[in-house]
Amino acid sequence: MRTCAPVAEDPLPPGAWARSARHRLAGRPTSGDVPSPMALYLGFDLGTQGLTAIVIEAGGPVREVVFQRSLSFDETFPQYGTVNGVLPGDDPLVATSSPLLWAEALETMMGLVARESGLDLSRLRAISGSAQQHGSVYLAASATAALAGLDAARPLAPQLAGHLTRARSPIWMDASTGAQCAAITRALGGESAGARLTGSRAALRFTGPQIRKFFEQDPAAYARTDRIHLVSSYLASLLAGAHAPTEPGDGAGMNLMDLARREWAPAALEATAPGLVAKLPALREPWAVVGPLAPYWVRRHGFPPAKVVAWSGDNPCSLVGAGLVAEGAIAISLGTSDTLFGPMREPRTDPARDGHAFGSPDGGYMGLVCCRNGSLARERVRDAYGLDWAGFSESLRSTPAGNRGAVMLPWFEPEITPRALSAGVRRYALDPADGPANVRALVEAQMLALALHSAWMSVEVRTIRATGGAAANNAILQVTADVFGAEVQRLPVGNSACLGSALRAWHADALAEGRPVPWDEVVAGFTEPEAARTVRPIPAHAGVYAELRGAYAACEAHALGHGPHPASRLAAFRERFGG
């Protein structure tokens, strides 16, 4: 028997995503031989705007999420001055956050797990995590000893402050590395060659171009840097008290890894910065056990010396947490960024070079498309028309599919997919004063962009699993279902990246104990969508969106300077579907 997880109902009040929740999911028992009944596994997800932790019970006959808690960076740690998780600055292309904030958030959450979960921590066998991809943390050689000798009498963050060679970490929203991307692309023989080697063309937010920029702008600080971590491997290092490796899921988001070989690519390293290989974490398999939890956590917070398993990026972890362990299905994550991803048997790459191929947590590959103007764009439109999420949803319900041919390109910030380097919202046949039409135009554009720019993945989409904060909103998911002509399934655990990291901890623990559990059994009982949470496409809307897709593509092409004004195209659409 299964008891329902309390998934937030549509609409959620703003900020509700950050509340704690307790889920119970009784799933089928595994047939596999498992390490120990009643074992607990802890997973983290360090997103753009906050940190979530989930503890699962697995390995016995019942599978449960027994603890879930989220902290918002802005609200819980106001002393860092972040806005939506980002440090304010003068250059609109630059986006950074604080590695000390992340460390403090990790320690605060570990304290909550230890003191507020009511769990018997002696049952905790392994910990893993997921983090926003591409961001990087720069440490001096002194950090190695500092990590090994963390003083349990003092909080974590101040013990790290003296060992950073770069106080602010560039994050995935940064768009300031155009010159570096161009130079790396030239050195690798063009975008196609770069994408074939690393899985992606040199991309603004990827770690390699960020490292090159750091080397160019502050060569002395680069020289003092002993280790450059991804956000994921940095946080794993704090738990293990030693430098943690990265793995091919998050490693592929750097423009530095040979995707097919799963090794650092010498040509890419050379194109990026001198002496780089010695500064990078080791590349290991995604299920690598980094070591036991450092004595700091044992002494200061009362944890057992559980295994620390390599952390990965939020999108690779979400693949597991959404239950996508075989090619043929995709997930859409509506978080700060909107992403679409799915497993791939082969490392296919996007001929238009907007999409990415990463390693997946099961040792295979995954394809991904990322749009920057996701939740924050939805919040901007919501606020511009004085709405709350209920009003936003009502605007979607009160306007017709296709929006009478009124289109928005919602590039409030420079857009990743399609590449739009300068911010600026474009409206076609859309009256800026018409709130409901603008809400619909925004969400239709977001879904059409994901659909259009993921065609290269060649996945026949029959069902879509929806995750991320905005997946709580049924009206948004109805547009998703209609644009893709596919069922959209909400997952029982909203933060699939976090659940995925807890499941990865379990998988790695079982493997390390010599009793592997197959991936389909790892996800069973945790990730099956429930029929009541499925949003079905409305058949009458299929033709509307088949037609609007072309008209929207014409708007994109025009806005990017590649095509004529789409006025006649939109007029033809209006004539057929104008309403």
The footprint of ligand XUL (CB under 6 A) covers 48, 132-134, 172, 205, 253, 313-315, 335, 337, 339, 368, 370
Q: In terms of CB distance, is 473 or 480 closer to ligand ADP? A: 473
Q: In terms of CB distance, is 44 or 573 closer to ligand ADP? A: 44
Q: In terms of CB distance, is 327 or 415 closer to ligand ADP? A: 415
> Residue with CB nearest ligand XUL?
133
Pairwise CA distance, residues 385 & 248, whole Å: 43
473 binds, among ligand ADP, ligand XUL, none (CB under 5 to 8 A by kind): ligand ADP
49 binds, among ligand ADP, ligand XUL, none (CB under 5 to 8 A by kind): ligand ADP
Q: In terms of CB distance, is 50 or 537 closer to ligand XUL? A: 50
Q: In terms of CB distance, is 442 or 523 closer to ligand ADP? A: 442
134 binds, among ligand XUL, ligand ADP, none (CB under 5 to 8 A by kind): ligand XUL
Q: In terms of CB distance, is 27 or 50 closer to ligand ADP? A: 50
Q: How far is the CB of 374 from ligand XUL (least distance, A)?
A: 9
Which H helix or E strand runs over 408? strand 407-409
By the criterion CB under 6 A, which residues form the site for ligand ADP? Answer: 11-12, 17, 47-50, 335-336, 375, 378-379, 389, 468-470, 472-473
Pairwise CA distance, residues 474 & 480, whole Å: 10
Pairwise CA distance, residues 378 & 480, whole Å: 14
Q: How far is the CB of 477 from ligand ADP (least distance, A)?
A: 10
Q: How far is the CB of 15 from ligand XUL (least distance, A)?
A: 19
Given a contact cutoff of 8 angstroms between Cβ atoms, the answer to whether 554 and 565 are in contact is no
Q: How far is the CB of 570 from ligand XUL (least distance, A)?
A: 31
Q: How far is the CB of 375 from ligand ADP (least distance, A)?
A: 4
C-alpha separations of 262 from 193, 216, 246, 256, 567 in Å: 17, 27, 11, 10, 47
Pairwise CA distance, residues 195 & 109, whole Å: 38
Burial class (CB in 10 A: 0-12, 13-18, 19+), 491: buried
375 binds, among ligand ADP, ligand XUL, none (CB under 5 to 8 A by kind): ligand ADP
163 binds, among ligand XUL, ligand ADP, none (CB under 5 to 8 A by kind): none
Q: How far is the CB of 492 from ligand XUL (least distance, A)?
A: 21
468 binds, among ligand XUL, ligand ADP, none (CB under 5 to 8 A by kind): ligand ADP
Q: In terms of CB distance, is 18 or 429 closer to ligand ADP? A: 18
Cβ partners under 8 Å of residue 441, min gap 6: 403, 406, 407, 408, 410, 427, 430
Given a contact cutoff of 8 angstroms between Cβ atoms, the answer to whether 44 and 233 are in contact is no
- Among all chains, which residue has been given the structure tokens 């947490």? 321
- Report the relative pairing of strands 124-131 and 169-170 from DSSP bridges: unpaired
CA torsion sign, 48 to 49 to 55 to 58? negative
- DSSP secondary structure letters along 344-394: ESS----TTS-SEEEE-TTSSEEEEEEESSSHHHHHHHHHHTT--HHHHHH
Q: How far is the CB of 194 from ligand XUL (least distance, A)?
A: 16
Cα dihedral 492, 486, 10, 441, rounded to 10, equals 140
> Residue with CB nearest ligand ADP?
469
Q: How far is the CB of 363 from ligand XUL (least distance, A)?
A: 20
Q: In terms of CB distance, is 86 or 257 closer to ligand ADP? A: 86
Given a contact cutoff of 8 angstroms between Cβ atoms, the answer to whether 345 and 327 are in contact is yes
Q: In terms of CB distance, is 198 or 393 closer to ligand XUL? A: 198
Structure tokens at 198: 């690393």
- In three-state secondary structure terms, 517 is coil
Q: How far is the CB of 299 from ligand XUL (least distance, A)?
A: 33
